[in-house]
Structure 1
Amino acid sequence: MRFLVDAQLPPALARWLAAQGHEAAHVGDLGMQAASDAAIWDHALVSSSAIVTKDEDFVQRKVLADNGPVVVWIRLPNTRRQELLAWFETVLPDVLAALLRGETLIEVT
């Protein structure tokens, strides 16, 4: 799977996903740290990436869009990087299963 990690999440999440065998980039790695949501959305669509985000704006856009990239909405409160990575390790199998089922908006709590 290919993931695009949004700016509210640490670049370490993209590196961790890559270490798990997925293609992953953080928006900062792509020079898109200050990019608009529309630019990130378009990049994810063109690159066939799922956007991993804490930003509810992507969720609202996904609900209103007939097409667009997959959105993985992280509903975890602000936490330390290591705690986030440990938590994400526990939920990643569920995220991947949802992707295999064809879900396009995945809320992870």
Structure 2
Amino acid sequence: MRFLIDAQLPRRLAASLNARGHDAIHTLDLPLGNRTPDREIIALADRQARVVVTKDDDFVQSFLVNDAPRRLLLLSTGNISNAHLERLFWTNLDTIVHGFDTCRFVELSQHALLIHE
């Protein structure tokens, strides 16, 4: 699966996804880095068939109102350590990937994985 990791998430998440056979980039890999506007992140993700991975509710609003990005993974975990976030992510990665087989919006919290219709 192809991912675009947003600025509030650790860059090593992209590196770990790549090491596990996925294709992931972080906003730091883009020409404007973490200053890349949301609309450019969305355009790139949609053009390259990537899932936008974010904690930013602005992407949820764009998804609901503008139907963009095409695929969205919201990490609604609140303030947790990067190590805890990564454990949660890896524990649920297979289910997340399979969730995108049938839907376009997946949400991971500390207590649940929601596959939105």
Normalising to structure 2: TM-score of the pair?
Answer: 0.85
Unaligned runs of 5+ in 1: none
**1:1-40 correspondence runs (5 A):** 1-31=1-31, 32-40=33-41
Divergent runs of 4+, >4 A: none
How many residue pairs get aligned? The number is: 108
CA contact (8 A) 1:14 1:26 kept: yes
In the TM superposition, residue 66 of structure 1 has moved relative to its aligned partner by: 3.8
Give the root-mean-square deviation of aligned CA atoms. Answer: 1.3
Identity of aligned residues (%): 34
Which residue is 1:93 aligned to? Answer: 94
Three-state SS of the structure 1 residue aligned to 2:25 is strand
Rounded to whole Å, the distance in 2 between the matches of 1:73 and 1:97 is 15
Q: Deviations over 1:24-70 (max 9, x none)?
A: 01010123310111111111111111000000010110011245420
Which residue is 2:105 aligned to? Answer: 105
Normalising to structure 1: TM-score of the pair?
Answer: 0.91
Distance change in 2, residues 1:67/1:33 (3 Å): closer
Rounded to whole Å, the distance in 1 between the matches of 2:51 and 2:63 is 12
Which residue is 2:78 aligned to? Answer: 77
Rounded to whole Å, the distance in 2 between the matches of 1:28 and 1:69 is 21
